[in-house]
Amino acid sequence: MTSPESVRIIAGDARRMPGVARNSVALVVTSPPYPMIPQWDALFESWGATDFEAMHRELDRVWAACYRVLVPGGLLAVNIGDALRSTSGEFRLWPNHARVLSAAEKRGFRPLPYILWKKPTNKPNAFLGSGFLPPNAYVTLDCEFILLFRKGPLRRLAPKSPERHASRYRKEERDLWFSQIWEGIRGIPQASGNGRSGAFPPEIPRRLIRMFSIVGDTVLDPFAGTGTTLWEASHLGRRAIGIELDRVRAEALERERTRREGTPPTGSPR
Ligand SMILES: C[S@@+](CC[C@H](N)C(=O)[O-])C[C@H]1O[C@@H](n2cnc3c(N)ncnc32)[C@H](O)[C@@H]1O
């Protein structure tokens, strides 16, 4: 279902959303660098952001830019996990999901019911506490959030639109995908702090793209990383735009795009 020009890679900063036209994107599927996770400390520090609130203020700029480029009724899906971290000797939860939810709502997005992605743990006995004695142990953080928002009222589509009908899902898919807890999808934990990409499993964008867009739509990932969203979108007959700040990753994306689509690289704004 792919066409040669169906994926566009932009090497740049999503806070400025270079090269993406206002009201042109039907769906954003993304996973940002998570605030308060050591893996992303250096990136946030390079923006002068060293605490939870300052880190989120940088991400807020991306949510605002997503609002501008989405079509009326377009959807924003943000995969994010909370963080556990000690600061000034105090161990606590940093609720990234709550902070993104409130920022997006302030920006004008309508919050929708979200999905909890329960990650299968390879450490079933991971437990923060001492033995079996109450009360000072902590609950294991084994879910990530897929926050969902819409830009304004429902998107208007022609009821007989052939693209919409070509994008139909089956009853079994609907029953599974529209339930609030997603289990059995393997992921790569961001909290590992070992410099890995933080890529999410293809099944996550694959479901979201089929749930919230139709064939021919444009899907954007402003934090493209290894391009999981882009390759899935293209495979599903959608156009895809990926923005990536890291030069090395952006070049790798462009190489992968060329390899998959057999076309020369397109230009990028920087
Ligand atoms: C959590 S990873 C995304 C992983 C992606 N979902 C995947 O499946 O590979 C976040 C990515 O966003 C990139 N990034 C961070 N800040 C950015 C910004 N301001 N603009 C564009 N990309 C950014 C990072 O370099 C990293 O590749």
Give counts: helices (H), strands (E), the chain: 8, 10
Are 34 and 189 in contact by the 8 Å Cβ rule? The answer is no
Q: Is the peptide bond before 111 cis (omega within 30 degrees of 0)?
A: no
What is the pLDDT at residue 263?
A: 55
Got the DSSP string for 34-84? PTT-GGGHHHHHHTT--SHHHHHHHHHHHHHHHHHHEEEEEEEEEEE--EE
What is the pLDDT at residue 119?
A: 85
Overall number of domains in the chain? 1
* 13 in contact with ligand 1, CB cutoff 6 A: yes
Specify if 1 maps to a domain. Answer: no
Specify if 93 maps to a domain. Answer: yes
Which residue out of 29, 36, 244, 268 has the highest number of ligand 1 atoms within 8 Å of its CB and is therefore the one to mutate? 244
Are 115 and 176 in contact by the 8 Å Cβ rule? The answer is no
What is the pLDDT at residue 264?
A: 53
Owner of token pair 């208007």: 156
Where residue 64 sits, what CATH number does that domain have? 3.40.50.150
Closest Cα to atom 27 of ligand 1:
225
Tokens of 190: 């961001």
Specify if 268 maps to a domain. Answer: no
- Between CA 201 and CA 54, with CA 243 as vertex, the angle to 5 degrees is 90
From the CA of 34, give the closest atom in ligand 1: 1
From the CA of 79, give the closest atom in ligand 1: 6
Specify if 16 maps to a domain. Answer: yes
Give the sign of the dihedral formed by CA 145, CA 151, CA 157, CA 159: positive
pTM, entire model: 0.93
Closest Cα to atom 12 of ligand 1:
223
Specify if 222 maps to a domain. Answer: yes
Closest Cα to atom 25 of ligand 1:
246
What is the pLDDT at residue 268?
A: 45
Specify if 132 maps to a domain. Answer: no
What Rg, from alpha-carbon coordinates, does the chain have? 19
Cα-to-centroid distance, 260 and ligand 1 (Å):
21
Among candidate residues 174, 167, 157, 159, the one with its CA nearest the CA of residue 213: 167
- Between CA 142 and CA 144, with CA 143 as vertex, the angle to 5 degrees is 130
Specify if 266 maps to a domain. Answer: no
Cα-to-centroid distance, 224 and ligand 1 (Å):
5
- Between CA 164 and CA 186, with CA 78 as vertex, the angle to 5 degrees is 90
Closest Cα to atom 13 of ligand 1:
223
Specify if 131 maps to a domain. Answer: no
One digit per residue, pLDDT tens: the chain, 270 residues? 555 459 999 999 999 999 999 999 999 999 999 999 999 999 999 999 999 999 999 999 999 999 999 999 999 999 999 999 998 889 999 999 999 999 999 999 999 999 999 987 666 566 667 778 899 888 989 999 999 999 999 999 988 999 999 999 999 999 999 999 999 997 555 443 334 567 889 999 999 999 999 999 999 999 999 999 999 999 999 999 999 999 999 999 999 999 998 755 454 443
What is the pLDDT at residue 193?
A: 37
Domain range for 210 is 7-123+139-261
What is the pLDDT at residue 191?
A: 43
Owner of token pair 């940002």: 32
Got the DSSP string for 120-153? PPS-TT--BSSTT-SSS-B----EEEEEEEESSS
* 31 in contact with ligand 1, CB cutoff 6 A: yes
* 33 in contact with ligand 1, CB cutoff 6 A: yes
Cα-to-centroid distance, 30 and ligand 1 (Å):
8
Which residue out of 204, 226, 245 has the highest number of ligand 1 atoms within 8 Å of its CB and is therefore the one to mutate? 245
What is the pLDDT at residue 132?
A: 86
d(CA 129, CA 131): 6
Helix or strand or coil: residue 117? Answer: strand
